[in-house]
Every structure is written in structure tokens, then in C-alpha cells.
Amino acid sequence: MNRPLVGTLATAALGAATLLGTVGTAHAAPQDGVQRPAQKKTKAVDFAGSVALSNCSGSVVRMPGSKPEDPALVMSNGHCLEGGMPGAGEVVVDKPSSRSFTLLDKSAGKLGTIKATKVAYATMTDTDVSLYETGSTYAEIEKKYKIKPLELATEHPAKGAKISIVSGYWKKIYSCGIDGFASTLKEGEWTWKDSVRYTPECQIIGGTSGSPVVDTATGKVTAVNNTTNESGEECTLNNPCEVDENGKTTVRKGIGYAQETYQIPKCFGDGNKLDLNAEGCVLPKPQATRR
């Protein structure tokens, strides 16, 4: 996974990294008289709604049915939890937390701090996600900071879609596309299902963990950034490997991955309350539960 810079994976030192630019290339007008298909319009992606954690990135998110008076949710990775990484098969629910998040404006300027009241849900089984409930409502955040939450998409991400990975920690946006999907992604003791695989342009690094992956066609969050194969090793920590339906293992050095988030809204009901027994909810349920 993308190593948090302090805390949960502090035992592994982050190597020096060159931050690559993300300036796009302008499209020249066709010179051969052939009418090109219209380009799909894209939403401008900025830092508004993103947050910086002490060791990772994240974002203020809403479900399609969330209301202004609901407590705001902050999404990051399960491996970014302040109490350490959940083990394989472990699910964290309703764990008290006073974690602070630095809220950013559209230009990555610091607006202020919002605080969690609990970890509503977190796991590194099948996916790698944490969702914090905060002590502020969406309406309160918008009134004080003029910031609206990012909305979670409810449809499976599409191969070939253009995406932006917004890192609140590094105050950097990575732009690339969805190259495809890994039916099974293994890293150390953890296994994730149906992971998003990036095209090579997104060279993510430690500290980008938990960044929202935004579909530039819709402006909605389609996944949460979580890992990259750093050194070409097979299935080791910080070196995930893909395993297909026939058991064949593939290593893609330098390629990053994210965990899909379209399943999450079905697990949250009125008042942004977690309901793992709701119809259509497929998030892992507690077995070995940390409270």
C-alpha cells in the first residue's frame, strides 16, 4: 500500500520521490478536414473538499441520499487508521475517535480543522477504506468554509475513464485513466477484490493513501487510492500482485491501484448511519472487531 508517512507504517522509510507535473497536453484542431467525435466534457477537479491527515490523504464525502443536517463523513484508507492497520478479516465499527482533519479549499489552502467523533467503518478486507463520522454537519461546514462534500458514485467505474487522484497531504493532483481491474489484488496478508488499476501516468507515492479518485466526466468519487507496486516484488508489503481467476499471478512494477467505492452508499441509511444489514450492502461485516 502507499505508505503513510508517519504512524501505521513508520517502520518503512519513505524513499525520495520526484513529484511529477500533471499538466495536460492541449488538443490541436484536426488539419485533414475529418470531423472528430466530440470529446466528452469533463468536470474541473480541484482540492475543495479534500483533507490532509497526519499521515495520509482523504476527503469529505456524502452519499447520494445524505442531507445537509447529517454528520459529515471523511473517507480515507483502512491502513491509515490512527490505531494501526486492521488485520486480515478485521472490521472496525463505531470506534470512538478524536482525529483531526485539515480541510482544504480549491487551491489547496488550509481552511481549518474538522474533528472526528468516531470511526464509523474501516477494514482492509476485500477493500481498504475508513469512514469517519465527524462532529460537524455538511451544512455547518458549508456555512463556515463554503465547502461542499464530494459525492460517492453508485455505479461501477468504467475502463478507460479519465480520473484525478486528489492528494490533500501532498497538495497534488495526479491525472491519468483507468487501465482496467484486478479481480484479486494481494499485498502481504491482505486481499482486495475488483481493484482499479491506473494507467502509468499516475505515479502515486506514500502520503497519497486515502486520496479520492474522481471521475472527471461526472465529478463524483469512484474509488479511494490505496497502493502501488514499488520495487517489483511479488505480493509483499508495498508490492501488490494481481491474481486472476485461474490463479495466475502478475506483477506490474510502478503501477498504482485503488479500491472501488460505489458499494458504500448502500451501507449507509438515514442520518449517514452505517447499516451493514441493509439490502445490497456487501461491505465485510465484523468478525474480529476492534472497538
For 55-84, the pLDDT digits (tens) are 999 999 999 999 999 999 999 999 999 999
CA-nearest of 76, 212, 73, 83 to 133 is: 73
> 142 and 191, same structural domain?
no
For 111, the domain range is: 50-150+268-284
Q: Which single residue is written with the C-alpha cell 488538443?
A: 27
Number of domain units in the chain: 2
Is residue 170 scored above 80 in pLDDT? yes
CA-nearest of 95, 69, 67 to 82 is: 95
What type of residue is 77? N
Residues 141, 144: Cα–Cα separation, whole Å = 5
> 136 and 60, same structural domain?
yes
> 272 and 146, same structural domain?
yes
In whole angstroms, how large is the CA radius of gyration of the chain? 18
pLDDT attached to residue 129: 99
Confirm whether 44 is domain-assigned. Answer: no
Is residue 23 scored above 80 in pLDDT? no
Confirm whether 74 is domain-assigned. Answer: yes
Number of residues assigned to the chain: 291
> 183 and 200, same structural domain?
yes
pLDDT attached to residue 30: 33
Residues 156, 6: Cα–Cα separation, whole Å = 32
- Residue 92: CB atoms within 10 A of its CB come to 24
Encode pLDDT of 37-56 as tens digits.
Answer: 344 577 889 999 999 999 99
String of b and e for 97-128 (b: at least 16 CB within 10 Å)?
bebebbbbbeebeebeebebebbbbbbbbbbb
Confirm whether 6 is domain-assigned. Answer: no
Encode pLDDT of 217-239 as tens digits.
Answer: 999 999 999 999 999 999 999 99
Q: What is the mean pLDDT of residues 13-26?
A: 30
Is residue 15 scored above 50 in pLDDT? no
pLDDT attached to residue 7: 38
Confirm whether 12 is domain-assigned. Answer: no
> 247 and 274, same structural domain?
no
The pTM score is 0.88
